[in-house]
Structure 1
């Protein structure tokens, strides 16, 4: 049997290799504290869980891929409160099965290669799905590095003029995974003007918008012109609902209609009881405030440790990640392997692209007690 050569030609998803390393450590009896994957350990608020239970009916029916009108209205209301933007719920918002399925689907829906727009620009280090989805959709991929000296913002002038003729989608992600950097509204306004000039879609992954430690991050939706902007977000981080797979996108009506065509084919409708729980989650902010306070406490533990041990934290503004420079002359993977042998798991920066070499990412997702134990371990080995 022959498989898609694009799929089989991809190197294994980086975190699969880390899974195997973790399993080998477990087999040797090592107890691990895992800071490698952004899966929150914070409990989902009781009211959200109860809303889900209350919505489970005796007779189960197929959910509609378009999503409940009530959820679209709840998302629009949250966007109005959070960013002061007004969207038309039925035409400009789409609930999704987590944000990942919508992120993956975008190049299949929004890239018209017959027009010559066959290229997706990604800014790396980054979430690997942007590139992999583009390649599987048959697109070209161009990468722009995110550098410390530019506050981990892309320099779009690095892309030659002839290349812009072929660009159909530009991915940005702020607050950024893995670098924890933020973007300003001026950044989005400038990118919007470029999108109009060069005729491309801005895909803005804002999954970490509600995890911050200073002023609230801005959204691409606050740009003066939203006609070329698609924003993705999720309840996974805001409300510790990773297992619920509840996300959404906000985009021009034409693109939302494209998702309306695509998603029934892909079979990615969100169960209604999850949508009902999401409505409850979006109506509340108290649990989000508690969540930020929990991450802030864990963050302070590691900032103090790394300061004492001379480990440079180059990204810490937002998200529940710390983006740190690997100490000494080790590679990122060698450093991560050394920590794993001590029972602390971090993600090598190289997992997120070539520009991530020399860094490691620490996700503040274990419990506070686990974080305190990890700090004691790292104090002995750094």
Structure 2
């Protein structure tokens, strides 16, 4: 392909896009690929993408729903999927949602997390750090000011709700938390929701990991607050049902906010395909496969965590998600340097600094390789001679 013609004026690009730093996990992916090209058997705990097989009954439901005609999907979602989601929320959290007004299916959780700042505002968007970068990037593309709320071990990785800015339009919460694996209790959600009603801002709760826990106590949801005014919860089948590539989630809560999303979404063409929605309805209606998924991640944690502790990493986060949030061994100050040292052994972990400055001093381990790979990684760790701290 030839380059630009001599004297041609380049088309300007969105300055927000131009100003974005490289998505940090691209560096991990590139480093792992380079090692594989050299013949290294890489075990990748860096990217938090579920790799468990999608249950057979979901795949069968997906295939059965493919029909000769393929109409455009309706942005509001199929009634049977909205009903399945509402029924699941009732069983799981004891809440009564109106499928017609309080639930909208989405193209996974990421779609809503990115686009919500286009729907709510103007005003500041508060995001937690360290954290999933999509909420911040969605706010920037929407032209909103981003306000960071640090998460620290001293506060159990919960944001300080007394430090919210005066012009706040949207508060993002994410529990169980990526990357810290911390959880929030119902009292915390009630306080956030009360502030949202009092001051007129939305409370958006990213609950993608709500169904994964290393203990028998499952996490709470923002959907459980007494008054859902200004509250929206976002969830997905990617983690719960091992369906990351099928892209199916939902937003639920305040009918006014759900209605606003329904009006917005036809403009950007993000309604899930009907065959995906029908498979999603089957997934939300069945719980045995979710119990099995939890047990798999618990087994992986049991296989790997003792070896991580043996090299000096210390559990620092919570007991949910499929992540381990670990403070660096004594003497180490750079999470990226420590990750690079492990990379020499063919083990990929995510430096905490990749999630923002508040993540420095930690690494995140995503328990997504197979149980056998976790056991193999544990053997490598026990044989590892760590270099001097950096």
How far apart are 1:46 and its partner, in Å?
0.8
Deviates more, 1:324-333 or 1:235-244: 324-333
CA contact (8 A) 1:346 1:363 kept: yes
Task: Show the counterpart of 2:322.
Answer: 320
- Structure 1 runs (4+) deviating above 4 angstroms are none
Task: Show the counterpart of 1:240.
Answer: 242
1: CA distance between counterparts of 2:33 and 2:293? 30
2: CA distance between counterparts of 1:309 and 1:136? 42
How far apart are 1:309 and its partner, in Å?
3.2
Task: Show the counterpart of 2:200.
Answer: 199
Deviates more, 1:38-47 or 1:24-33: 24-33
1:173 paired to 2:183: no
2: CA distance between counterparts of 1:43 and 1:379? 29
How far apart are 1:183 and its partner, in Å?
0.5
How far apart are 1:293 and its partner, in Å?
0.4
Q: 2:126 aligns with which of 121, 130, 135?
A: 121
1: CA distance between counterparts of 2:65 and 2:145? 44
Task: Show the counterpart of 1:273.
Answer: 275
Instruction: Show structure 1 runs of 5+ residues with no match.
Output: none
Task: Show the counterpart of 1:337.
Answer: 340
Instruction: Show structure 2 runs of 5+ residues with no match.
Output: 1-10
1:131 paired to 2:132: no
Q: 2:366 aligns with which of 359, 363, 366?
A: 363
CA contact (8 A) 2:203 2:231 kept: yes
CA contact (8 A) 1:34 1:366 kept: yes
Cα RMSD (Å): 1.2
The 5 Å alignment of 1:139-154 reads 139-154=144-159
SS of residue matched to 1:302: helix
Task: Show the counterpart of 2:183.
Answer: 182
2: CA distance between counterparts of 1:13 and 1:311? 26
2: CA distance between counterparts of 1:373 and 1:303? 12
Residues matched between the structures, number:
373
TM-score (norm 2): 0.93
2: CA distance between counterparts of 1:213 and 1:368? 15
CA contact (8 A) 1:306 1:313 kept: no
1: CA distance between counterparts of 2:333 and 2:185? 34
2: CA distance between counterparts of 1:241 and 1:297? 20
CA contact (8 A) 1:128 1:352 kept: yes
CA contact (8 A) 1:349 1:356 kept: yes
> Which structure shows the bigger proportion of residues in helix conformation?
1
How far apart are 1:380 and its partner, in Å?
2.1
How far apart are 1:330 and its partner, in Å?
3.9
The 5 Å alignment of 1:209-224 reads 209-214=210-215, 215-224=217-226
How far apart are 1:372 and its partner, in Å?
0.5
2: CA distance between counterparts of 1:380 and 1:334? 19
* Cα distance per residue 1:305-358 (max 9 Å; x no partner): 233333211114100000001223241111111111211111111111110011
* Cα distance per residue 1:285-308 (max 9 Å; x no partner): 110010000000011122222333
TM-score (norm 1): 0.95
CA contact (8 A) 2:230 2:257 kept: no
1:72 paired to 2:82: yes
How far apart are 1:26 and its partner, in Å?
2.1
2: CA distance between counterparts of 1:248 and 1:293? 25
1:376 paired to 2:379: yes
CA contact (8 A) 1:203 1:231 kept: yes
